[in-house]
Amino acid sequence: MDNSQIAKVFYQIAEFLEMKEENPFKIRAYEKAARTIESYSKPIMLFKSKEELEKIPGVGESIAEKIIEILNNGACRFLEELKEEFPPEILTLNEIPGLGPKKSLQLYKELKIKNIQDLEKSALSGKIRNLKGFGEKTESAILKGIELKKQYKGRLSIGTALPISLEIIESLKNKIKNLLISEAGSLRRRKDNIGDIDILASGDNNKLIIESFIKLPLVKELKVKGETKVSILTLDNLQVDLRVVEKESFGAALQYFTGSKQHNIELRQMAESKGFKINEYGIFKLKSNQKIAGAKEEEIYQVLGLPYIPPEIRETGEEIKIALKDQLPNLINLKDLKGDLHFHSNYSEGVNTLEEIAASGQEFGYNYIALTDHSQSLKVANGMPPEKLKEQIKKIRALNKKLKNFQILAGAEVDILIDGALDYPDNLLKELDLVVGSIHSHFKQDSALLTKRICKAMQNPYLNIIAHPSGRLLGEREELNLNWEEIFKTSAETNTALEINAYPQRLDLKDLYCREAKVYGCKFAVSTDSHNINSINSIKYGINVARRGWLEKTDVINTKSLKELLIWLKSKR
Ligand SMILES: [Zn+2]
Ligand SMILES: [Zn+2]
């Protein structure tokens, strides 16, 4: 039983309790525990006792007891009892944007809607708009949500795919000496959502690689087994394809199976024009068919007179022309980052104390982390009234005196209200080192109003970063309908950075927009939006996006030293 399966139990309990309109604090406690468990760095199943479990932040006695029960029996009696009170599929309704537990229950009670199919039928026949609290807009939002779900079916988020491929690669490396192994395909190009997990390997004994792979503990089912390719299903029902090739072709195969298709087409054309031929076995002289290289991927590019093109930007083929002119960007790396600029503590909806966050930032090798808890209007996320923020600022200043080579920046994630005003007065914002602004409500304003709202917020001299600018949630919520040109222009003019939110379901600003924004001269902040110190690692997903967006170190403000960053932040005031 892995952490996400345990977390799911608590998410479901929270949803059922919400349907039953139980105490909101109790509901929030279950949600918090679920989030903590989901992102916990160690497998929860290794914990042996209740007392050990209670040391995890957000896990109290009653939740610890339930975890033990789940680990022993594979199920939780409390959840099973709740399930009996409702139709079995009702929770799937909550996955549709705009629907929460209460609305789902209303749909069941008034229209006998039990699952997504019922929901779609009723929405199409216009029955939902007549319910109290729904209306025509909600009905069409429901249909859009169902559509989005269908589109994403079968697609995997990189946040799901990457950890699995890394686990497989690490396990095989530990078992087999001199192993060449890498993920390939869209996963290696670090796209935000991918089709299949493809892994490519080569070694002294390819048979042994295949045998070791299909015996890995995460394998549930062997689907296809050939001489050079096998497909398995993992315990979570994800398909992983492993292909083995000869060592002398590993580089060529890696290049070939990484794609993109368009990149490879254009590379092949270019090769031919220079008298070469490339395929998954190597690069050959066109006339004599003599193999020139293939063991290393870099060699393929080298022979063609190109610098190495990083997988993240192998997309449209345009990158090849730019590489020919030797104008490829020097892409940002994870090690360039000096800190994280969006982090929640237990002052709002995070689970950790300031001290814990500082310790984990130091351990990660950062020089700073900005605490950005929610502002007063965001009641669902325990937004802080001004007095509480002032208290937090004081505590941060005191803590900083005790820290060496590391500082917590006093910040806030301030809601951008419906008219573009910020959710705290300027004289309070002035006290902060950094302000992140975001939209968490009234998503459905028309494009012009939404754009104006964000641009007005950017004019505020204290606002430094727009968080998750497009508001998208992959597979759940489409991006806001914004006039991006206006947004990018204003961002550059006002010196307001755009966030690349690294949370795998957001990855917002997305890669294409990053590249476009850079042309306008925008700056960026790559941040995790962590609610738990265990998510500090997810920064890598943000770096992937930045790289796919052709960004360099100088484009990203949290590559600056603390001193430089503070100067940059103040320069807007
Ligand atoms: Zn937010
Ligand atoms: Zn946040």
Domain spans of the chain, in order of start: 3-152, 156-244, 249-324, 334-570
E-state strands within 218-311:
219-225, 229-234, 239-244, 276-279, 282-285, 291-293
- Determine contact, residues 468/529, Cβ cutoff 8 Å: yes
CB atoms within 10 A of CB 421: 15
The C-alpha atoms of residue 15 and residue 96 are separated, in whole angstroms, by 14
Report how far ligand 1's centroid is from the alpha carbon of 525 (Å): 14
Q: What is the CATH number of domain 3-152?
A: 1.10.150.110
Q: How far is the CA of 464 from the centre of ligand 1 (A)?
A: 14
Q: Give the Å distance between the CA of 524 and the centre of ligand 1.
A: 16
pTM reported for the whole predicted model? 0.83
Q: Which CATH entry fits the domain spanning 156-244: 3.30.70.2190, 3.40.630.10, 3.30.460.10, 3.40.50.261?
A: 3.30.460.10
CA of 467 to the centre of ligand 2 (A): 8
Dist. CA 210–CA 213, nearest whole Å? 5
Instruction: With residue 411 as reference, give the H or E element that holds it.
Output: strand 407-415
What pairing do the DSSP bridges indicate for beta strands 368-374 and 239-244? unpaired
Nearest ligand to the CA of 343 is 2
For residue 381, report the distance from its CA to the centre of ligand 2, in Å.
9
**What confidence tens digit (pLDDT) does each residue in 399-432 have?**
999 999 999 999 999 999 999 999 999 999 999 9
Fold of the 334-570 domain: TIM Barrel (3.20.20)
Average the pLDDT over 156-182 and give the result: 94
For residue 551, pLDDT over 90 is answered with yes
Q: Which CATH superfamily is domain 249-324 in?
A: DNA polymerase, thumb domain (3.30.210.10)
Cα 140 to Cα 18: distance, rounded to the nearest angstrom: 24
User: Alpha-carbon distance 206 to 118, whole Å?
Assistant: 50
Ligand 1 center–CA 344 separation, angstroms: 10
pLDDT the model gives residue 477: 84
Going from the Cα of 373 to the center of ligand 2, the distance in angstroms, rounded, reads: 7
Place of tokens 């009996």: 84
Tens digit of each residue's pLDDT (9 = 90 or more) over 97-115:
778 888 999 999 999 998 8
What is the whole-number distance in angstroms between the Cα of residue 104 and the centre of ligand 2? 26
- Rounded (10°) CA dihedral 203, 208, 211, 214: -30
Q: Please tell me the predicted confidence (pLDDT) of residue 365.
A: 97
DSSP code for 573: -
List, for residues 508-522, the tens digit of each pLDDT value. 999 999 999 999 999
pLDDT digits (tens, 9 = 90+) for 26-58: 998 999 899 888 878 788 988 889 999 998 888
- pLDDT recorded at residue 474: 87
* Nearest ligand by distance to the CA of 506: 1
Structure tokens at 221: 């089912």
